[in-house]
Amino acid sequence: MADLILFNKPFQVLCQFTDEPTKDGQKRRATLADWIRIPNIYPAGRLDYDSEGLLLLTSDGALQHRIASPEQKMPKTYWVQVEGEISASAIDQLAAGVTLKDGRTRAAKARKMDEPELWPRVPPVRQRNTVPTSWLELTITEGRNRQVRRMTAAVGFPTLRLIRYRIGDWSLDGVEPGKYRKIPVNLPTTPKSAKRPIPTKSGKTPRRRRSS
């Protein structure tokens, strides 16, 4: 049994527990430590600074790997506000896969949706009075850098607001922005070595700030 944290990450919050200092004296950005005071947990996957929604965290390395590993192909569902009235042909292109600089994306699930009932974003999305906006639901099984934003831009509809609603069987339902919910998850028995947090690409364990 492992504990999983379902966190609704607000806009402009770093997906880590510390912010690296800058040489030009830039103000410290908000981090997970400003919202979560649970020791020894780490994000299972990433969510961009300027994206909102579901982020999963755990102290169990096997569960972290199951969620974050590209080999698992765990589906992730996003609600996306785009600039312009998105067309049926653009939806079809997103579903079939689009060609990006780092290759063609896998087939996805894409559909136009009504504007969801959401919390207000702070600061609000900048919109032009002369240009309409629309919403789509997009489910992908990859995790390329800024993939959803690049996909909608590739079909001619830039992303204005991006919210991750679901990862696998877990969703934002019942989790308000800036809040989290802890749930138990049953896992098969794994070697002790698999229960440590998965290192980052640099070979280091993800950094976090000590709880005070």
2 in Cβ contact with 42 (< 8 Å): no
Residue with tokens 């896969």: 97
**Structural Rg of the chain based on CA atoms:** 18
Q: Is the pLDDT of residue 194 over 60?
A: no
Fill in the DSSP letter of residue 36.
-
β-strands 76-83, 159-167 pairing: antiparallel
Query: For the segment 35-58, what is each residue's pLDDT rounded down to a tens digit?
Result: 999 999 999 999 999 999 999 999
Q: What DSSP state is assigned to residue 62? A: H
CA distances from 35 to 18, 61, 79, 120, 182 (A): 12, 22, 23, 18, 14
Which residues are bridge partners to 82 per DSSP? 134, 159
Which residues does 201 contact at the CB level (< 8 Å), separation at least 6?
Answer: none
Question: What pLDDT is stored for residue 212 in this prediction?
Answer: 39
Given a contact cutoff of 8 angstroms between Cβ atoms, the answer to whether 115 and 126 are in contact is no
Output the average pLDDT for the chain.
88
Query: In this predicted model, which residue has the larger pLDDT, 186 or 183?
Result: 183
Element containing residue 183 per DSSP (H, E): strand 180-185
The active-site residue, picked from 3, 19, 34, 48, is 48
Give the three-state DSSP class for 168.
Answer: coil
Mean pLDDT calculated for residue range 156-171: 97
Q: Which of 27, 35, 70 is nearest to 209 (CA)?
A: 35
Residue 3 is a catalytic residue: no
The owner of tokens 């640099």 is: 202
pLDDT digits (tens, 9 = 90+) for 73-101: 899 999 999 999 999 999 999 999 999 99
Among candidates 79, 86, 88, 87, which has minimal Cα distance to 134? 86
Q: What is the pTM of this model?
A: 0.85
